[in-house]
Structure 1
Amino acid sequence: MAVVAAAVPPTTVCFIGSKFHLCSCMMFRRWNNIELGERRLSSLNLVGWRQRTNLICAVGKDAEKSFKQMVEVDRLIDLLRDTDDKELRKVVAENIFAFNESFWIRLAARTETCKSEDDKKDYEELAETLMVVVDRLVHKTNESIDSATDVLKAILKPVVEKDEEIPWPPRDPNALTLMQNELNQREQEGQLDEGFLSEVNAQLRQAKEDGDKPGLEAMLQKVYQLYASRVLSKRSYAKKGNKVLKSELFLETLIQAPEAEWNAILIDGLTIGKGDISPEELDGVIKKRVERTLIRTDGGSYQQRVLIEYLKGIQARAEEVVRVLQGKTQ
């Protein structure tokens, strides 16, 4: 009996901006007439036959080797997914030669076959982080990795004046923008891990105990806010299919906005002000986002605490604005 081998469409990985997508490129094929036993199959009835019969694939040594390699790649991907930020660079360095074309194709394939949007976004974020870490290891092997203290100093540098005083608010109107740009870059490079958040917490606690550095205390709080805004903004829940969820979109607008703009956004967006989102709707989506964050972060971690505090800060501000507006309307 002749053996029919399944034809697999060629696959390419397309990197678009910071996102990557699996693009299956289906090529036109012309099926030749073949004989299977005493039955002759044309291109048309071959398709029908394939729908009714399991294909028998000839698996040679090359196919077996490819399968084993895919299993190894899957194990590495699973390991990377389960590794925390602090250990990720170490794991990548130990497996640096495994990050070849086959690895990225397999990672893209697993991303596209995810059943939930949350899992898909997890894979996309993992891919972005890995690309940055691999790039740093390959092109910057002679540079020492900055410590958490060095990273924090670099982020605060735009707001620190020559005499090392940190005024609040900053005298330079562009200082906060520069600070946010530096934080975003460090986060993209995977440097804002638990060690970094722990360092911010230690410095903040010391500033509160000293009591004579209100500017430093305010800026460290700002670092936490910028970090939380950056991380929470990566995951959007504002669309469900083709439908835009207005309350989720409104919350995401608040998450991305500077704290100084929250009052104006709340007044313009809530029904008690000028908008069409009820306070109850906003409170509901905030609670839902808190639940999602608790599920998707390590219990007791600094990251979990910072993100939850940021969301509860938005919730508290919304309640305060509602109380003020209700007082004016009574």
Structure 2
Amino acid sequence: MVFYWKDYEELAVSIMSIVDRLVHKTNEKIESATDILKEILNPVVAEAEEVSWPPRDPEALILMEKEIAKREQEGRLDEGFLAEVNAQLRQSKEDGDKPGLEAMLQKVLQIYASKVLRKRSYAYKGDKILVAEQFLETIIAASEENWNKLLIEGLNIGKGEISPEEFYSVIKKRIERTLIRTEGGSYQQRILTEYLRGIQSRAEDVVKAFQGPQQ
């Protein structure tokens, strides 16, 4: 088959058209992720005011959580969205002058992780309730601000019956299950496992505080 210059010209135009469409679609996805994040943060960001955390109006946090739940249900909180939040969070940490924004973005990821992890329960085995698993799911569903209180009430170093070792064991199992059920190296995998490790780290701090200085 003989190609003439006109054929090459048409081929080049077709290729550039495809490239333009791909670039446009990529930009659309980035803009879409940014717009979704803006909508989520909108209730807790006051116009012309410095970002503060926690929000002055408690209702604002409830509205933010509702927006995250709505977007997650729509399937809009995908890898593109998680990448956008992580990019904004990284930039905020590097700037070092926006602690309110940094805390706000961390909260977005925490709420996201909580909602995704709550979709699957491991608290029941037949008719039997696995108490430690159920307790972990209570912590997963709770706001980070309530973790200390719940840990003291549930662990046997406080008012509960679950040993720290038993609790750490179910966290480890949940992390392993999460690693199996999520794409390796994805933002989702990292965010979910970091959330679970955050719960363990908080539990370890609470246990240490109750046990006092070791001899």
Structure with the bigger percentage of helix: 2
2:69 corresponds to which residue? 184
Q: 1:204 aligns with which of 89, 93, 106?
A: 89
Shift of 1:209: 1.1
C-alpha separation between the residues in 1 aligned to 2:39 and 2:49?
13
Instruction: Please give the per-residue CA displacement for 1:26-70, whole angstroms capped at 9, x wherever unaligned.
Output: xxxxxxxxxxxxxxxxxxxxxxxxxxxxxxxxxxxxxxxxxxxxx
Shift of 1:165: 2.6
Q: 1:233 aligns with which of 112, 118, 138?
A: 118
Structure 1 residue 305 corresponds to structure 2 residue 190: yes
One-letter amino acid of the structure 1 residue matched with residue 85 of structure 2: V
One-letter amino acid of the structure 2 residue matched with residue 231 of structure 1: V
C-alpha separation between the residues in 2 aligned to 1:162 and 1:329?
50
C-alpha separation between the residues in 2 aligned to 1:240 and 1:186?
32
Shift of 1:261: 0.1
Q: 2:171 aligns with which of 265, 286, 290?
A: 286
In structure 1, runs of 5+ residues without a counterpart are 1-143
Shift of 1:329: 11
1:161 corresponds to which residue? 46
C-alpha separation between the residues in 2 aligned to 1:297 and 1:163?
40
2:149 corresponds to which residue? 264
C-alpha separation between the residues in 1 aligned to 2:197 and 2:214?
26
C-alpha separation between the residues in 1 aligned to 2:162 and 2:206?
14
C-alpha separation between the residues in 1 aligned to 2:114 and 2:50?
26
C-alpha separation between the residues in 2 aligned to 1:190 and 1:231?
11
C-alpha separation between the residues in 2 aligned to 1:232 and 1:329?
35
**TM-score for both structures, normalised by structure 2:** 0.84
Shift of 1:328: 8.2
C-alpha separation between the residues in 2 aligned to 1:184 and 1:161?
21
Q: Which is bigger in relative contact order (C-alpha 8 A, separation at least 6)?
A: 2
Corresponding residue pairs, total: 187
Structure 1 residue 152 corresponds to structure 2 residue 37: yes
Instruction: Please give the per-residue CA displacement for 1:264-304, whole angstroms capped at 9, x wherever unaligned.
Output: 00000000100011101100000000000000000000000
Shift of 1:212: 1.1
Within 5 Å, which residues of 2 pair with 1:12-23?
A: none
Give the greater-gyration-radius structure (CA). 1
One-letter amino acid of the structure 2 residue matched with residue 242 of structure 1: D
Structure with the bigger percentage of strand: 1
**TM-score for both structures, normalised by structure 1:** 0.55
> Secondary structure of the residue that 1:299 maps to in structure 2?
coil
In structure 2, runs of 5+ residues without a counterpart are 1-27
One-letter amino acid of the structure 1 residue matched with residue 57 of structure 2: D
